[in-house]
Amino acid sequence: MSSPPSQNALSDSSLVAEVTRWLNQVVIGLNLCPFAAKPTQEQRVRFVIGRAQDDEQLLDVLRAEMALLDSEPADVIETTLVIVPAYLQDFFDYNQFLGWANRLVKREGWSGVYQLASFHPDYCFAGAAPEDDTNLTNRSPYPIIHIIREASLEKALAYFPDIDQVPERNQRCVAALSEQQKRALFPYLLARD
C-alpha cells in the first residue's frame, strides 16, 4: 500500500475536497452543527488554504480573512474555514496558537464580530483521554480554524432552543458509531496510525 502524499504536495483542490467531504459527511451528516447545512448548500462557506510556516504568517492569513468577511455580506460569504495542511500538526502547538489567534480578534476590534472554532486531527478535550470517542466531534482531516460571524450565529441560535444540549448530543452520537462507521467517516485518522 502506498503512503499518502505529503501535506505540502497536496493541491488546494485536493485539500478542499477532503475537507468538504468531512464537512458533509461528519459535521452535517451526523448533524454535529445544526446550522452548518444551509450555508454549505448555498455555497457560502469559503475554504482557504493557509500554507503558513509560522505563527505570524498564519495570523496574517486570519487577519486577511476577517477583513474580507468585513467587506462581504453574509449572503455572499457566511463563514470561512482556514485549512492548515503543513503547520500546527501538534495539537499542543495548535492550541497555543489559538490563544494568539483569539488575541488577534480582540486586538483588531473583532470581538463580538467574529469567533473562532477549532478542529484538529488530534483534537482532545480538556480532561478527555486522547483515544476517547468524544474527541471525534472536533477531529478533522487537517488543522482548521473556523471563522464564524457572531451575528449569523446569534440569528441561527434563535431557531435552536436546545442549543446547550448539542455538545452532549454530539458526544453520544460519535460514541454510538460502530468501528466500521468510524473507519468510513474518519479515514485520515486510520491512515496516521
Which pLDDT does position 148 carry in this prediction?
96
pLDDT tens digits, 60-89: 999 999 999 999 999 999 999 999 999 999
Which pLDDT does position 157 carry in this prediction?
78
Residue 108 has pLDDT above 90, yes or no: yes
pLDDT tens digits, 15-45: 999 999 999 999 999 999 888 999 999 999 9
Mean pLDDT across the chain, nearest whole number? Answer: 91
Which pLDDT does position 4 carry in this prediction?
44
Which pLDDT does position 5 carry in this prediction?
47
User: Which residues fall within 8 angstroms of residue 23, CB to CB, at 6 or more apart?
Assistant: 36, 40, 45, 81
Residue 167 has pLDDT above 90, yes or no: no
What is the number of residues in the chain? 193
CA distances from 47 to 28, 100, 127, 147 (A): 16, 21, 31, 11
